[in-house]
Structure formats: C-alpha cells, structure tokens
Structure 1
Amino acid sequence: MVSLSWHAPATLAAMLFIIGLIGLLARRSLIFVLMSIEIMLNAAGLLFITAGMRWGNPQGQIMFIFVINLAGAELALGLILLLRLRNRLTTLDGDAANRLRDVQA
C-alpha cells in the first residue's frame, strides 16, 4: 500500500480555497458566488480529512459529513433566495441586490 504524504492533499485544499476566495471576490453573479462558497467548503472538508489521516483518527471524516450537510443546506437556501431575487429584479447581479435595501415595502 502506497502511503500518501499529507502535504499533497493539504496543498490541494489550500489551492481550492484560494480559487474559491478569488471567485467570491471577483464575480458579481450570485450563482458564481454560491459556487465559490461551495468550492471553499469542499476545500475545508478535504482539509478535515487530511488532518484526520495525518493524526490517524476518523474525526476528520465525521467533520466532513457535517461540512457536506452544511453545504447542502447553504445551497438549498441560496437557491431559494436566488429564485426570489430573480422574480423581483429579473437579474442575478450582486450589485442589483443592493437596490432592495432602498425599496419601501
């Protein structure tokens, strides 16, 4: 059995997190913002599994299950909010969502 160093998955998790952070800061479309947050959550989950592998306990895999559940809940709520925003403003631009603050109900 080939033993994999923990440096490779940790580096991959760091790169995924940076890609997600750049996507979060650079994009204005709320769909891409949600996708970037999902990439960042997957990077955190990969790091939990890597830490569990490094220290030889299964708690990293248990935390990954929690991260996946959190990502699913975030995706469901985010898509509901995006559908409501699309019906109200007919756009998914993040800057257009700021106009909702000025609208009186």
Structure 2
Amino acid sequence: MVPTATWYLVLAAVLFSIGTFGVLVRRNPLVMFMCIELMLNAVNLTFVALARELNDINGQTIVFFVMVVAAAEVVVGLGIIVSIMRNRSALTADDLAELKG
C-alpha cells in the first residue's frame, strides 16, 4: 500500500496538534521551543505533500527556505534559552518576561 497525500496531510495535522498541545500545556521554554519546531515541521510536511500531489516544485522550494530560516532560528533561540537557564535553576515561560527592554 503506497501512502497518498492524504496520509501525509493527516500525519501533519497530528504532528501540528501535538505541537500545539505542547505549547499550550508546558511552561518550560525549551520544551515549548521544541513544540514550535514540531509545528513548523508539520507545516513543511504539508507543503511537501501538496507539492508532490500537484506536481509543483514551489512547495519544496518554500520548504527549503523555511528550513534555512529555521536553522538560524534554532541557533539564536537555543542560545538565548540556554544562557537564561544557566542563571536560573527552574525556568518557566513567565520568567522570560524579564527580557523586556
């Protein structure tokens, strides 16, 4: 049985739902960051599945650029989160409000 675009779209919806649930429930910024990345990968999977279904290369091109930007985002985001977590033993998302101006 060959998986169709529908299977990939359902998988992307499940991954996006798991990521959304993780962002809404968890308060640890590192876990929230990983859940946001999971949501981003679900969107990428949607783009690739639809590009394959429609025989269009534009979806895969968009995914390539999204992955490049996401790599830069991971470097900056993890750097900020790790530097804050070094100073505090227990960090929640509410503690990040101290980063304002």
After superposition, what is the alpha-carbon deviation per residue over 1:46-81, rounded to whole angstroms, capped at 9, x for unaligned? 000011011111111111111211221121111111
User: What percent of counterpart residues are identical?
Assistant: 31
For 1:67, the equivalent position in structure 2 comes to 66
Cα deviation, residue 101, structure 1:
6.0
For 1:25, the equivalent position in structure 2 comes to 24
- Normalising by structure 2, what TM-score? 0.86
Q: CA RMSD in A?
A: 2.1
1:6–1:97 CA distance, 2 compared to 1 (3 A) = same
Q: Which protein is bigger by CA-based radius of gyration?
A: 1
Give structure 1 regions of 4+ aligned residues with deviation exceeding 4 angstroms.
none
Is 1:44 aligned to residue 43 of structure 2? yes
- Normalising by structure 1, what TM-score? 0.83
Which segments of 5 or more consecutive residues in structure 1 lack a partner in the other structure?
Answer: none
For 2:4, the equivalent position in structure 1 comes to 5
Aligned amino acid, residue 85 of structure 2: R
Aligned amino acid, residue 32 of structure 2: V
Where relative contact order (Cα < 8 A, 6+ residues apart) is larger, the structure is 2
After superposition, what is the alpha-carbon deviation per residue over 1:15-48, rounded to whole angstroms, capped at 9, x for unaligned? 1001000001110001101100110010010000
Which segments of 5 or more consecutive residues in structure 2 lack a partner in the other structure?
Answer: none
